[in-house]
Amino acid sequence: MAEQLTYSELLARLQVRQVEEAQHERMTFVRKAIPDLDGAGILDPRVREQKQKELEAAASRPSGPPVDSTAIPIEDLRAMMGWPNHDLSGGTIRTALAEIEGSNGTIQVRIYTPVGDRVRPAVLFFHGGGFIGGSVDTVENPCKSLAQKADAVVINVDYRLAPEHPWPAGLTDCYDTVRWAFDHADELGVDRTRITVAGDSAGGNLAACCSIMDRDAGNGYIRYQALIYPVVVIAQPEQFHWQPEEYAIGADEALIHFSLDGLRNAGSMLNALYLQGAGSDNPLVSPLLIEDAAGLPELLVVTAEYDYLRLEGEAYGQLLAEAGVRTRVIRYEGMDHAFLDKYGEYPQAEDCMDELARGIWGLPADE
């Protein structure tokens, strides 16, 4: 049975109940245990409660053949995404709206800045949502907290979504925003040598792809990349064909399989709605397939133990470490996909922003 702890106590426990080990000379791997429950192969109590509700709701629906997600109206798909969460920034962050002229037209952004005039690191944050949904609203509270915790200027990017704007439109928007932040560093109060790209799920993919574009262009705008349970391979070559047996599954077997199955067949939807004929083996679609990862920015990868994307995210960390990129991988045990959406409810979500803030401040001012 889980201990009865307050949210603050759970958050503090996450820093204590962790094991850190060097798995490669360039890679540190951290496992963060469930803060209030011991055991292996189990879900965090908060995740278990939510998954139980979802499983019961699914069981109550009329039986029938599997639903083709590409046949669901796009607005209905978008309505299923996101989660109400909480502003933990204490009202100390200024929010400004801006419009950027990019290659595809106007890009809207929200800029979060701590009180006080000084030069700060910058973070470009790209929301998740499978490239077809999600919004700046869902990640606003994590972004505001990150601005406070890292004492950074955080730019929340409202990039174009598929299917109306297929690949590479959203990716182009994201990199155009990186370039804009670099070019306008002085007016933003940003240290242009300390620019981070970050994102969750599909947004993690966009951050990884922006980092590749930046290296290949020789621009050097991006110093640090933080990928939160990222999609890094949409193609499914044989060497990356994941099996459920690769996950430790114990007492919560039915709920864990239900969690993993949520993204198991997402590839067909992404091909149909996001790529629309573009090749899924392009590293700017599936960065895990990059042939040469040397020279990419320092990397943080955050994964959830019972997320179907966990294995590919951790494989990407290993790939970059072997190419000489300084890498830190953090796995939250008992968690499932999209836990950042539950900011202020799941302590792991706030701890994730704490870890990202520490990574940003661990960067030297210049190299």
Q: What is the pLDDT of residue 72?
A: 85
Could you say which of 89, 201, 259, 280 is catalytic? 201
Q: What is the pLDDT of residue 265?
A: 75
Rounded CA-CA distance 34/45 in Å is 9
Question: Which tens digit of pLDDT belongs to each residue from 198-211?
Answer: 999 999 999 999 99
Question: Which tens digit of pLDDT belongs to each residue from 146-194?
Answer: 999 999 999 999 999 999 999 999 999 999 999 999 999 999 999 999 9
Q: pLDDT-based confidence at 218, cuts 50/70/90?
A: very high
Question: Which tens digit of pLDDT belongs to each residue from 35-52?
Answer: 999 999 999 999 999 999
Q: Is the pLDDT of residue 244 over 90?
A: no
Q: Which two tokens stand for residue 270?
A: 């992404």
**Dihedral, CA atoms, 229, 230, 234, 237, nearest 10 degrees?**
-70
The H or E element containing residue 300 is strand 298-304
φ/ψ (deg, to 5) at 273: -95, -35
Q: What is the pLDDT of residue 91?
A: 83
Q: Is the pLDDT of residue 367 over 60?
A: no
Q: Is the pLDDT of residue 217 over 70?
A: yes
Q: What is the pLDDT of residue 239?
A: 64
Q: What is the pLDDT of residue 241?
A: 67
List, in sequence order, every residue forming a beta bridge with 328; answer none if it has no partner.
28, 300
Beta strands in 153-297 (DSSP E): 153-158, 190-200, 224-228
Q: Is the pLDDT of residue 64 over 70?
A: no
Average pLDDT over the chain reads 94
Q: What is the pLDDT of residue 65?
A: 65
Domain spanning 7-56+83-361, CATH architecture:
3-Layer(aba) Sandwich (3.40)
Question: Which tens digit of pLDDT belongs to each residue from 260-318?
Answer: 887 877 888 899 999 999 999 999 999 999 999 999 999 999 999 999 999 999 999 99
Q: Would residue 201 show up in a list of annotated catalytic residues for this protein?
A: yes
Q: pLDDT-based confidence at 24, cuts 50/70/90?
A: confident
Q: What is the pLDDT of residue 237?
A: 63
Q: What is the pLDDT of residue 137?
A: 97
Question: Which tens digit of pLDDT belongs to each residue from 219-232?
Answer: 999 999 999 999 99
Q: pLDDT-based confidence at 366, cuts 50/70/90?
A: low
- Please check whether residue 146 is in contact with residue 224, taking contact to mean a CB–CB distance below 8 angstroms: no
The position carrying tokens 């392009």 is 282
Q: What is the pLDDT of residue 23?
A: 79
Q: What is the pLDDT of residue 240?
A: 66
Q: Name the percent of the chain lying above pLDDT 90.
A: 81
The whole-angstrom distance between residue 170's C-alpha and the CA centroid of its chain comes to: 16
Q: Is the pLDDT of residue 352 over 70?
A: yes
Rounded CA-CA distance 19/351 in Å is 15
Q: What is the pLDDT of residue 61?
A: 78
Q: Is the pLDDT of residue 53 over 90?
A: yes
Question: Which tens digit of pLDDT belongs to each residue from 72-121?
Answer: 899 999 999 988 999 999 888 999 999 999 999 999 999 999 999 999 99
Rounded CA-CA distance 354/345 in Å is 15
Q: What is the pTM of this model?
A: 0.96
